[in-house]
Amino acid sequence: MQTLTNNRFTVGKGIKLIDDAGVEYLDGVSGTFNLSLGYNHPHVVHKIQEQVGNLTHMSSSFTEPYVNEVLDHLIEYAPNDIDAGWMRDITGSTANECATKIAQKYTGSTDIVSLYLSHHGQTQFATGISGNAFRRKRFPNSSAANAVHVPAPYCYRCPFKSKSSECGYQCVEAISDAIDYASSGSVACMIIEPILGNGGNIMPPLGYFQRIRKLCDENNMLLIADEVQTGIGRTGTMFASELFDIRPDMITLAKGLGGIGVPVAAVLMQSRLNVLEKHEHSFTSGSNLISVTAAKSTLEVVSEPGFLDAVKRKGILLESLLQELAQKYPIIGEARGVGLMWGLEIVGDQNEPDTPKTNAIIDRAFTDQHLILRSSRYGFGNVVKVRPALTTTEEELVEIVDRLDSVLASVH
């Protein structure tokens, strides 16, 4: 079998991966943005080991007391009167399915509005509601998701050619048109990532989410914030919904909730939306005790006094370092992000997307600098993502950007 690299990584320590030859690699993207606390956070490791020693699994009929502890903790931070939850999934894809099923059952409507460039998962359904057609190729059932795709608020390459100073939120207007002309007339919800992660770290303009909320209210649609990437402190607040004042009816979570990469997911909702019967959405491993323990102990760490403030401070440092790089290298068309969630849009002389250079940056970072980065495959595939673990130290942030600087100098 072919492998992606010749390295065989055997140890994960903090934000480092170490291979069997003892060579250390700095992970600038926390796995696939799911290692919110790095590879081996001692508190989470200890709690999981303890749990494994006692009881690793029992039927979800019996796990409720454990699950409720996690949900109560999450709800403490949740915006917009969200006060209930569902934890019978282990992946973000099916958590999003869960939320959209809830929306369909609650509203009695069918369609789901989602953005171009969005990523909501890779089951056929989640692929169907995601805004990237290339993943649907050859999988006809993904078209059965009743999705209505609408333009993304991609200001750097505005689909309506607006300049930010004169933005008339035409991308929001276009959603109204799509509801009128492209939907079945029966729309249950809109699902939206606060920052389009895989789409290229796309940050909507100020005022966008308030307009989306209004549009949902006017059309009796529920608003689902897919916080699989942005949740659990990634942007410096527990939920990005709080940071951007999104006021969603539901929030979906996965990735960072597992702290050190343990698969776990959750759907948070206002209790009026708690309409699913258990048999309508449950998986054998959903709410298993290892996942629930990982979530509980991760939340204990993230809610320690000062933890999120430190993420905010580190985010400001990362921002200034990346903006310096953007000043230095014209191939960075834009550095955009917040907290520890950043993307660098790589461009050519005419600001056109430069995908080969983007790929060269990722490859050279790995081979020459032992720095792990990821690029966005969506859109033009020309965004370098920088999203280290929330536990990354300031020195490590400087080290990540120094190594990236050397790579940019070599491809420039």
Ligand X SMILES: Cc1ncc(COP(=O)(O)O)c(C=O)c1O
Which is nearer to ligand X, 198 or 241 (by Cβ)? 198
User: Going edge to edge, which strands form the sheet with 250-253?
Assistant: 84-86, 266-269, 250-253, 222-226, 187-192, 111-115, 147-150
Which is nearer to ligand X, 385 or 403 (by Cβ)? 385
Question: Shortest gap between Cβ of 126 and ligand X (angstroms)?
Answer: 6
154: number of Cβ within 10 Å: 19
Question: Shortest gap between Cβ of 265 and ligand X (angstroms)?
Answer: 7
Contact region for ligand X (CB under 6 A) — 10-18, 22-30, 92-100, 160-168? 92-100
Question: Shortest gap between Cβ of 230 and ligand X (angstroms)?
Answer: 8
Site string for ligand X, 110-129 (x = CB under 6 A): ---------xxx--------
Site string for ligand X, 224-243 (x = CB under 6 A): --x-xx--------------
93 scored as a contact of ligand X (CB under 6 A): yes
Q: Two tokens at 270?
A: 């206002």
Which is nearer to ligand X, 92 or 286 (by Cβ)? 92
Q: Two tokens at 310?
A: 């430190």
Which is nearer to ligand X, 336 or 364 (by Cβ)? 336
Which is nearer to ligand X, 226 or 345 (by Cβ)? 226
Binding residues for ligand X, rule CB under 6 A, total 14
Closest CA to 92 of 225, 213, 189: 225
199 scored as a contact of ligand X (CB under 6 A): no
Question: Shortest gap between Cβ of 195 and ligand X (angstroms)?
Answer: 9
Question: Shortest gap between Cβ of 393 and ligand X (angstroms)?
Answer: 25
315: number of Cβ within 10 Å: 21
**Residue from 31, 38, 85, 92 binding ligand X (CB under 6 A):** 92
Question: Shortest gap between Cβ of 185 and ligand X (angstroms)?
Answer: 27
How many Cα atoms are found within 13 Å in the side-chain-facing hemisphere of 46? 6
Residue 24, SS3 per DSSP = strand
Can you spell out the DSSP letters for 204-228? Answer: PPTTHHHHHHHHHHHTT-EEEEE-T
Taking a C-beta distance cutoff of 8 angstroms, is the pair 333, 193 a contact?
no
Question: Shortest gap between Cβ of 304 and ligand X (angstroms)?
Answer: 25
Which residue minimizes CB distance to ligand X?
Answer: 92
Contact region for ligand X (CB under 6 A) — 3-11, 74-82, 88-96, 322-330? 88-96
Which is nearer to ligand X, 257 or 335 (by Cβ)? 257
Taking a C-beta distance cutoff of 8 angstroms, is the pair 367, 406 a contact?
no
197 scored as a contact of ligand X (CB under 6 A): yes
Which is nearer to ligand X, 193 or 334 (by Cβ)? 193
Question: Shortest gap between Cβ of 192 and ligand X (angstroms)?
Answer: 10
Which is nearer to ligand X, 228 or 408 (by Cβ)? 228
Taking a C-beta distance cutoff of 8 angstroms, is the pair 275, 95 a contact?
no
30 scored as a contact of ligand X (CB under 6 A): no
List of residues 6+ apart from 26 with CB closer than 8 A: 15, 16, 370, 371, 372, 396, 399, 400, 403
Question: Shortest gap between Cβ of 263 and ligand X (angstroms)?
Answer: 7
Taking a C-beta distance cutoff of 8 angstroms, is the pair 35, 27 a contact?
yes
Question: Shortest gap between Cβ of 120 and ligand X (angstroms)?
Answer: 5
Q: Two tokens at 361?
A: 């940056």
- What's the rounded Cα separation, in Å, for the pair 113 and 12? 39
224: number of Cβ within 10 Å: 30
**Residue from 30, 91, 142, 375 binding ligand X (CB under 6 A):** 91
Which is nearer to ligand X, 224 or 276 (by Cβ)? 224
334 scored as a contact of ligand X (CB under 6 A): no
Taking a C-beta distance cutoff of 8 angstroms, is the pair 331, 78 a contact?
no
List of residues 6+ apart from 120 with CB closer than 8 A: 92, 93, 96, 114, 126, 129, 130, 191, 193, 226, 228
| Positions in the binding site for ligand X (CB under 6 A) | 91-93, 96, 119-121, 193, 197-198, 226, 228-229, 254
